[in-house]
Amino acid sequence: MMYNPKNMSGSRRKAALLALGIFFLATLGFASTTSASPEAERLNDLLTRTANQTSLFLDQFSDVKCTEQVRQEKLGKDDKVELKEDSTYDYLVILTNAGGELNLSESRIPMHAAKRDRKNTSMLLSNGFATLFLVFHPYYAEAFKFTLVGEEVVGGRTLQKVSFEHIPGMKSPAALALRGREYPLELTGTAWIDPQTGSITKIQAGIADSLQDVGLKALNSEIDFAPVPFSDSKVVYWFPTSARVEVETPRQHWRNLHQFTAYKKFTVSTEEQVTQK
């Protein structure tokens, strides 16, 4: 993930990088449930299905590309939109294996870039939020506390709501990089999960007010997933369709809206060679 208020200067400059942790080990799993209560067992079963689905989804997600439309908004008093910019990108996530570790990175090729504001007004860059599902990936799952928080019927389907809260001192899939230092983000939120398949349909996540001393007052996001069929496959995959990101500092307020459409299969193969001298 990345957020970067651009074009700010002097004491008002709050350029920051929200760097999404991209390394993970597929062999790690959830910690065993210490309680034998039926609810604890139900939660552990659901998390296991979700972890397996997330691992499979990651491979699937790296085999497709899509069109990403981004609207950047600068908000003023009463959340009124003071400035907006629209851009379109050819978007894909690249999964590589280097040194035995998997590396997840985003690629954006501009198809239509927003024109820069004449007043040099700062805007928000937000990247990586489509991969927030990594909270449930085996590599990060042990760093979060998960709780069943009820059910909700969405589109005729009964979904299980699971809250998550980062455990202080543990690794986090997101960090704030500022002035040469990194601050792991204490992510908290809720995910809507299909209890039968473990597919994530929506995630809402944010952070507490623990980073106000470095200029970050609030960060909230919401990511929606939907089934995306492909003509050459009987399996229907759930991919991100939209992401809403809102960031607030003591003096600034931004909102970015991402739309992901036109998914297509895309494969990349890489080869490394060592030149003999």
pLDDT at 190: 98
- Evaluate whether residue 169 is within a structural domain: yes
- Evaluate whether residue 29 is within a structural domain: yes
The domain in which residue 65 lies consists of 2-264
pLDDT at 87: 94
- Evaluate whether residue 232 is within a structural domain: yes
Express each pLDDT in 1-15 by its tens digit. 444 433 333 323 222
- Evaluate whether residue 277 is within a structural domain: no
pLDDT at 122: 77
- Evaluate whether residue 131 is within a structural domain: yes
- Evaluate whether residue 222 is within a structural domain: yes
pLDDT at 194: 96
| Beta strands, E only, 45-115 | 64-75, 81-98, 101-112
- Evaluate whether residue 195 is within a structural domain: yes
Average model confidence (pLDDT) for the chain?
78
Q: Check residue 65 and report its DSSP letter.
A: E
Number of domains in the chain: 1
pLDDT at 226: 93
Residues of the chain below pLDDT 50: 1-35, 269-277
132: domain CATH number is: 2.50.20
Which residues in 45-57 are b (16+ Cβ under 10 Å) and which e?
A: ebbebbbebbeeb
pLDDT at 256: 94
- Evaluate whether residue 273 is within a structural domain: no
pLDDT at 16: 30
